[in-house]
């Protein structure tokens, strides 16, 4: 059911510093920042040979990562995104198994313009899981 790890997201208090850490200190290739007002974040992707790291900075007053950064002001791993073929079929199977989908249960459009859903961390080992249809 699970496909590739599309990305691992790291919430950061300052995107410029975080980008410099990955680009200059760790020598990785990074994208230009992309504002996603619908998701309340600005993102930079770190391009690795087999997957991506997504650096997330809060955007706007109601950013969904603001509470995370209050608890972890230096930043930290925020979620992991797995690719799936058919997000509605996977959602229905997970819900039938007792897992909880965040929000209204319907996919939103993610950073790559594809349908995404988030699953409740309490049902997945304390880890926020994003599913992205590819």
Residue 5 binds a second copy (CB under 8 A): yes
- Nearest to 9, CA basis, from 62, 60, 65: 65
- Nearest to 112, CA basis, from 124, 130, 95: 130
Catalytic residue at 130?
yes
Q: How many CB atoms neighbour CB 51 within 10 A? A: 16
Residue 121 binds a second copy (CB under 8 A): yes
For a second copy, which residue of 1, 35, 89, 134 counts as binding (CB under 8 A)?
1
Residue 25 binds a second copy (CB under 8 A): yes
- Half-sphere exposure of residue 93, counting CA atoms within 13 Å on the CB side? 8
Give the C-alpha separation, 81 to 62, whole Å.
Answer: 22
Residue 31 binds a second copy (CB under 8 A): no
For a second copy, which residue of 2, 35, 67, 134 counts as binding (CB under 8 A)?
2
How many Å is the Cα radius of gyration of the chain? Answer: 15
Residue 61 binds a second copy (CB under 8 A): no
Name the residues that contact a second copy, by CB under 8 A. Answer: 1-5, 8, 10, 12, 18, 21-22, 24-28, 48-51, 53, 55, 72, 74-77, 80, 82, 94, 97, 99, 121-127
Which residues are marked as active site?
Answer: 130
């Amino acid at each position: 059911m699970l496909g590739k790890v599309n990305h691992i997201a790291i919430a950061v208090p300052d995107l410029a510093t975080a980008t410099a850490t990955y680009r200059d200190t760790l020598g990785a290739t990074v994208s230009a920042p992309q504002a996603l007002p619908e998701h309340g974040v600005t993102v930079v992707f770190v391009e690795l040979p087999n997957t991506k790291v997504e650096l997330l900075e809060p955007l706007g007053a109601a950013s969904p990562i603001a509470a995370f950064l209050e608890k972890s002001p230096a930043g930290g791993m925020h979620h992991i995104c797995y690719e799936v073929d058919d997000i509605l079929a996977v959602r229905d199977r997970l819900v039938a198994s007792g897992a909880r989908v965040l929000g209204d249960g319907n996919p939103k459009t993610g950073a790559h313009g594809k349908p995404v859903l988030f699953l409740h961390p309490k049902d997945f080992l304390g880890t926020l899981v994003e599913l992205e249809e590819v």
